[in-house]
């Protein structure tokens, strides 16, 4: 791999694409050249990188000649079509969609957990689901120490997980409700302002949604833990940014709050914010724009054997997407 790689961002104008550009800059990633790719309607616009204007070009089959690393965040359809083309052109793809996560030839990587899996790539590496990534930042260190068997979890997912239009929808609806106007909806099937929607992604025959099954399916692959089980309810909440997850986890070994805190305090990419007596606990408002996830509300679960309940928050555009993708790219250079 080139020490100063030519990097492309596919879906550069989307919420995650913008974060990818800023994350490359913030982490001083040794970008030799940056190419920004998007749909025809964005071509010709410019975005700033290291103070310079970079013109966006249209994504085509010929976009990947000479590119070393391509960070994809333009949806599963685009990834399915263009990631294999990019890989064939000699480029390593880090894909943010769900298109390849369950493909056995594609590593699914959270660098703090399974960085070594990067080496097994055949041209494509998958970035995990945002809720899964944020949950595993706290769950995996506990798994290493105590052996997780299963979890029950509920997510509180911010609208920016859906994209830029969803942020606008929440803003618009808040204004409409406050000024007594009728509420209009385009992105979500129901009003999101002052409401919560117990549906993220589409429903499966089991009654779970696709999003809800990602924690079990992706968790097994990332943690190399084939028997891991997760029963999850994913909920969209009227928060702009940062996902939160309430987790009850059952372990093989007995677990105490003190032992759990000691493990979590030393976990990479995670901050322990757990002072209930001072009303200090993780919140989306304070994790937005922050690289590290936060964990708190740690207590022995009173309904499970060897159980621990905790609350974890993280910026899903960063650890759940752009930051994780850039960290994978950093692993590729090692």
Pairing of strands 92-95, 124-126: parallel
Catalytic residues: 130, 243
Task: Give the tokens for residue 119.
Answer: 């080496």
- Where is 175: in which H helix or E strand? helix 164-178
d(CA 115, CA 166): 32
d(CA 264, CA 281): 14
Contact 334, 116 (CB under 8 A): no
Any bridge partners for residue 151, and if so which? 230, 249
Contacts of 321 (CB under 8 A, 6+ apart): 16, 19, 73, 96, 127, 130
Pairing of strands 229-236, 148-157: parallel
- Where is 295: in which H helix or E strand? strand 293-300
Number of Cβ atoms within 10 Å of the Cβ of 47: 20
Indicate the SS3 state at residue 126.
strand
Contacts of 77 (CB under 8 A, 6+ apart): none
In angstroms, how far is CA 306 from the centroid of its own chain? 28
In angstroms, how far is CA 29 from the centroid of its own chain? 20
Place of tokens 């010709």: 44
d(CA 136, CA 112): 10
Any bridge partners for residue 56, and if so which? 36
d(CA 243, CA 315): 6
């Amino acid at each position: 791999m080139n020490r100063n790689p030519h990097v492309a961002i596919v879906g550069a104008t989307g919420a995650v694409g913008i974060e990818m550009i800023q994350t490359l800059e913030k982490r001083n990633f040794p970008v030799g050249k940056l190419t920004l790719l998007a749909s025809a309607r964005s071509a010709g616009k410019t975005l700033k990188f290291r103070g310079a204007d970079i013109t966006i070009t249209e994504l085509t089959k010929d976009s990947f000649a000479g590119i070393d690393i391509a960070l994809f965040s333009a949806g599963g359809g685009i990834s399915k079509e263009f990631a294999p083309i990019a890989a064939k052109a000699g480029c390593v793809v880090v894909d943010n969609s769900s298109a390849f996560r369950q493909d056995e030839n594609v590593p699914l990587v959270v660098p703090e957990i399974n960085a070594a899996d990067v080496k097994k790539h055949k041209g494509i590496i998958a970035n995990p689901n945002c809720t899964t990534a944020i949950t595993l930042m706290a769950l995996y260190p506990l798994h290493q120490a105590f052996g997780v068997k299963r979890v029950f979890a509920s997510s509180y997912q911010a609208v920016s997980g859906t994209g830029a239009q969803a942020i606008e929808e929440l803003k618009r609806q808040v204004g409409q409700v406050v000024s007594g106007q009728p509420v209009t909806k385009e992105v979500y099937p129901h009003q999101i302002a002052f409401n919560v929607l117990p549906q993220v992604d589409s429903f499966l025959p089991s009654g779970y949604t696709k999003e809800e099954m990602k924690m079990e399916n992706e968790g097994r692959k990332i943690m190399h833990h084939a028997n891991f089980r997760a029963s999850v309810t994913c909920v969209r909440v009227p928060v702009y940014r940062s996902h939160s997850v309430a987790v009850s986890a059952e372990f093989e070994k007995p677990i105490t709050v003190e032992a759990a805190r000691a493990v979590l305090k030393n976990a990479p990419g995670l901050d322990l914010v757990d002072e209930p007596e001072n009303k200090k606990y993780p919140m989306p408002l304070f994790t937005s724009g922050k690289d590290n996830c936060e964990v708190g509300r740690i207590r022995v679960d009173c309904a499970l054997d060897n159980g621990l309940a905790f609350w974890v928050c993280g910026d899903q555009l960063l650890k759940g997407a752009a930051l994780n993708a850039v960290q994978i790219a950093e692993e590729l250079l090692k």
